[in-house]
Amino acid sequence: MVSDRTIIGVIGEAKQVETFQAEFTPTAPTKLDAVEPHFGLSLEQMQMPDTQDMTLQPLEDADRDLMIEWRRLYELEALNETPEKALEIATKDVERYIERDSHRVLYHNGTPVCTTGFNATYKTCVQIGGVFTPPDLRNKGYARAAVALHLKEAQTKGADMAILFSASEAAARAYMSIGFRQLGEFTLMIFDELTVIHV
């Protein structure tokens, strides 16, 4: 039974979440309620972008304070987190990503310009997340380069499929340029606080 359970959010295929919303009444307002396109890519069909003078390095090799700041900005921009919580979450996230070796930093001529990561891995499929380019460095092709280089690395370890969700049209265009194609739509619903759901 789902009724009377305490949850922080709901993430899933858009139509399923819509059905959930019709059946259950949460007790708290949402800080994020967005429908995002769901993309997939068979890695053998990936189209490599121009990565001249770019390298991808583990997150642990980057400046820790800078990575925390970038993640803080990500929490504010993409997840509508409050300023009070964003820094706390960002600090914990960076530590966790380093421990898992799940995220990478893209460098252009030695300067860090973008992050990318794998939120999850299942058998030979990876889910991309944590893609972030600082505002003053956007529209230069860094996100697509970072994702493509990380997927190329994953290929050498046996991955053959990737999925992701896009939070903006600009991001969607970047992913489609390296071969991603839309599979459907996902809803991300995150509550302001833990909430109990009732029938």
Q: What is the pLDDT of residue 155?
A: 97
Whether 168 maps to a domain, the answer reads: yes
Q: Are strands 161-165 and 125-132 parallel, antiparallel or unpaired?
A: parallel
Whether 37 maps to a domain, the answer reads: yes
Give me the CATH number covering residue 133: 3.40.630.30
Report the number of distinct structural domains present in the chain: 1
Q: What is the pLDDT of residue 11?
A: 80
Instruction: For 67, list phi and psi in degrees, rounded to 5.
Output: -65, -40
Give the Å distances, CA to CA, from 161 to 12, 36, 96, 158, 191.
19, 19, 24, 10, 31
Q: What is the pLDDT of residue 18?
A: 84
Whether 87 maps to a domain, the answer reads: yes
- What is the extent of the structural domain holding 122? 6-198
Q: What is the pLDDT of residue 66?
A: 98
* Spatial contact of 180 and 10, defined as CB atoms under 8 Å apart: no
Whether 1 maps to a domain, the answer reads: no
pLDDT per residue as tens, the chain (199 positions): 566 788 888 888 888 888 887 777 677 788 878 888 999 999 999 999 999 999 999 999 999 999 999 999 999 998 889 998 999 999 999 999 999 999 999 999 999 999 999 999 999 999 999 999 999 999 999 999 999 999 999 999 999 999 999 888 889 999 999 999 999 998 888 887 888 877 6
Q: What is the pLDDT of residue 189?
A: 82
Q: What is residue 123's three-state secondary structure?
A: coil
